[in-house]
Chain A
């Protein structure tokens, strides 16, 4: 079956520290992958999306970056976190050739 994993589930980091969030999809090949951020009580902000390995589009300029080292792995990184980076980070995926998008369980990031 097809599943999506995100880790960690929660993370508390000091300002200026690095960040690495990982997302892995199982049971599919060549999915489209997405990173979203959701501020408390707010909507879904698309940060990055990828249609293949090393094919990543950035939607919002910021101090975050994304990488896709393997077909089903998507990583969100930052060299130095800001207070404004706090939020709920969601990974999502779309099976190749379809529109249906599925979300992961999310990572709650608090930057102090």
Chain B
């Protein structure tokens, strides 16, 4: 029940295309859903986060879509660029427990 399942494990997208990464959770007590971006040799950096009271949040080219009834949330990267090539992690928590992370998606954006 504490798991967050992330897919795909790896993703190759053409420059200018849309990258989509999906996550699913079981624990209905989760109320905070962040996404992190990690470049090789660096610590993960918070990219964008959402709470269940909204279905979508957009920051620049990055959008989180949230489906509470399906217990799923996804990250969309519009106009993907080679500089977006990184590993992306979704996570979830209920504020009282540590973040539960997905296993990560390695995104490669090719020209």
Partners in one complex: yes
The interface of chain A, by Cβ under 8 A from chain B, is 32, 34, 41-44, 46, 49, 59, 90, 92, 99-106, 108
Assuming the A-B contacts A43-B103, A43-B104, A44-B89, are A102 and B98 also in contact, with contact meaning beta carbons closer than 8 angstroms in the complex? no
In B1-52, the 8 Å CB interface with A consists of 32, 34, 36, 41-46, 49
- Cβ-defined partner of B32 (8 Å) among A42, A99, A102, A104: A99
Q: Is the CB of B101 within 8 A of A101?
A: no
B89 touches A43 (CB 8 A): yes
- The interface of chain B, by Cβ under 8 A from chain A, is 32, 34, 36, 41-46, 49, 89, 93, 95, 98-99, 101-104, 106
Set of chain A residues within 8 Å of B42, measured between Cβ atoms = 105-106
In the bound assembly, the distance between CA atoms of A89 and B44 in angstroms comes to 12
B51 CB, min distance to chain A CBs, angstroms: 9
- A residues in contact with B89, CB < 8 Å: 43-44
- Residue of B at shortest CB range from A104? B43
Contact B41 A44, beta carbon cutoff 8 Å: no
Name A34's contact: one of B45, B98, B102 (CB within 8 Å). Answer: B98
B99 contact set on A, CB distance < 8 A: 101
Q: Is the interface of A mostly helix, strand, loop or mixed?
A: loop
Nearest CB of B to A58, in Å: 12
Among A44, A59, A100, max chain B CB count under 10 A is at: A44
The 9 closest A-B pairs by CB, nearest first: A103-B43, A99-B32, A43-B103, A44-B101, A106-B43, A103-B44, A43-B104, A49-B98, A105-B43
Among B36, B98, B106, find the residue whose CB has the most chain A CB atoms closer than 10 A.
B98
Question: Please, which residues of chain A bring their CB within 8 A of the CB of B41?
Answer: 106, 108
Query: Is the beta-carbon distance between B44 and A46 smaller than 8 angstroms?
Result: no
> Quick one: closest B residue to A105, CB to CB?
B43
Q: How far is the CB of B32 from chain A (nearest CB, A)?
A: 4
A54 to B104, CA, bound (A): 32
Which chain A positions have C-beta within 8 A of B104?
Answer: 42-44
Q: Which residues of A contact B101 (CB under 8 A)?
A: 43-44, 46
Query: Which residues from B are CB-within-8-Å of A32?
Result: 98
